[in-house]
Amino acid sequence: MARFKRSPKKPGPAKRKRKSRFREEVKCRFCREKGKEIDYKDVAVLGKLVTQHGKLFSRKRSGNCAGCQRKVKKVVKYARYMALLPYVT
């Protein structure tokens, strides 16, 4: 078998050191406002959590925590059942 010689590594740019920054923990919109609950009758808020095609936005996109995302899922389904939100646009 033929062996290939490795070329010596070229000196590249110096690596930058990462600065350690402390980031504040971001809470979801429902956890920030403790008195505000997720309500199936609040169509304006639910409309922001649903796409034009009727799909729920992901947790990453909506910014909800896991518990609130589960509550939103149930509330959106109930609002669809009550004909406040469309299943599909």
Query: 22-64 pLDDT, tens per residue?
Result: 666 778 888 888 878 899 999 999 999 999 998 999 999 989 9
Q: For residue 26, what pLDDT is reported?
A: 75
Domain extents in the chain: 29-81
| CATH number for the segment(s) 29-81 | 4.10.640.10
Burial class (CB in 10 A: 0-12, 13-18, 19+), 79: buried
Contacts of 88 (CB under 8 A, 6+ apart): 53, 54
What is the Cα–Cα distance from 47 to 67, expressed in whole angstroms? 19
Q: How far apart are CA 17 and CA 84, in angstroms?
A: 53
Q: Residue 23 has what pLDDT?
A: 66
pTM above 0.95, yes or no: no
Which pLDDT value is given to residue 51?
A: 92
* Rounded percentage of the chain residues whose pLDDT exceeds 90: 47
